[in-house]
Amino acid sequence: MKIETTASGKVFFSGEYMALEGGRAIILSSPQKARVSISECNESNNILFSSMNNHAYPFKIDEDMKLIWLEDDPKHLGNILKESIDQFDKSFSSKSISIDTSEFFYQHRKIGIGSSSAVSVAITKAFNQLFDLRLTPKEIINHSRAIHNRAQDSIGSGFDIITSFVDGRTLSCRILDNGTYDYEQIDLPDSIKIFVVINDEYVQTSEMIDRYKAAKNQYTDYFSQNAPQMLSELEHLYDSIIKKDNKSILRYLYRYNELLIDMDNKFNIGVFKNHHELIKLARDGDVFYKPSGSGGGDIGLLISDDKKKLDRICEKLNLRDVTFFEI
């Protein structure tokens, strides 16, 4: 029997940083997917096949349910598999496990759209079938997040796990006071067009969040005065999406972004670093642009309800050899 599962990546539409404070974030599933398959093999041990380097890594599970690499250590994907085995505390042998994350790479560089979260969800879904665990959606999300947190030493919101699990939807997500998640599927108006722009620079999310938390503790008065307004703008944005009000959607996106710029200038996080040229290009073309996620480079979003204006910006991006895709 062959088991095959997938999980999508994610893109932050809004709510960066305030998502860590209980703010409502809007998250988009990306078209890129992580793919996991499990099948029988003719070896007594197990084999992990990684698309990251097209290499096979033999391994076994010892009596203490610990993964032992028999040759090379695949590092990143290997860590996620190791934590998955630890999470479910179940052994197996003579299995071939393939993890394909090729869709998350551009010119041999990983794009920051949640490949690790997608792999964590896809493996959890695959193990759910392999061991006949009959997990509920909530249990799949919780197991996936535990795996991802340990493998990545993650300190993020966890919304990428939820988005990867729901797969193919736009979500409104927030963390409640008791630490649980509140999320719902919503729909952006069809007339709102979004392009993901790939930036050549990249900063680790954990590094950006560490800077944010340190600055937040340093500038407590500033944060207590400004955070409520940022949280309020996110609620207005959510209401505008529910009402399918394009002008209000773009207005509240812009207002939240301006507040984030002010906070970034005060906290010196570097959210907008390496995005200034694209911000100017979009502004000159009367299109909204913002960093997506923790910022510092990696990816940004072009957003507009005027397809012709977006097309003109995309023509200029093509001339500059900048990679982008519609989401």
User: pLDDT by residue (tens digit) across 189-241?
Assistant: 999 999 999 887 777 788 888 999 999 999 999 999 999 999 999 999 999 99
Q: What is the pTM of this model?
A: 0.88
The verdict on 62 and 162 lying in the same domain is: yes
Contacts of 144 (CB under 8 A, 6+ apart): 117, 120, 121, 124, 161, 164, 165
What was the pLDDT predicted at 302?
A: 96
- 8-state DSSP, 102: G
CA angle 173, 174, 178 (to 5 degrees): 140
Measured distance CA(49)–CA(102) in Å, rounded: 12
Is there a contact between 263 and 230 (Cβ–Cβ < 8 Å)? yes
CATH assignment at residue 130: 3.30.230.10
pLDDT of the residue at 327: 86
What is the CATH number for 314? 3.30.70.890
Q: Look up the domain containing 34 and give its range.
A: 3-186
Name the least confident of 31-45, 137-151, 165-179, 298-312. 165-179
Domain final position from 186, 218, 251: 186
Helix (H) or strand (E) holding 281: helix 276-284
Q: Are residues 168 and 82 in the same domain?
A: yes
Structure confidence at residue 113 as a pLDDT band (50, 70, 90)? confident
Query: Is the separation of the CB atoms in 274 and 296 below 8 Å?
Result: yes
pLDDT at residue 80, as a whole number: 92
16 and 159 assigned to the same domain: yes
Kindly state whether residues 142 and 97 are assigned to the same domain: yes
User: Quick one: pLDDT at residue 297?
Assistant: 73
> Residue by residue, what is the 3-state secondary structure of 40-86?
ECCCCCEEEEECCCCEEEEEEECCCCCEEECCCCCCHHHHHHHHHHH
The neighbour count for residue 77, using CB atoms within 10 Å, is 25
Is it the case that residue 154 has pLDDT exceeding 70?
Answer: no
- Three-class secondary structure of residue 38 per DSSP: strand
Query: Which of these, 181, 163, 157, 50, lies nearest to 113 by C-alpha position?
Result: 163
Total domains in the chain come to 2
Q: What does DSSP assign to residue 274?
A: T
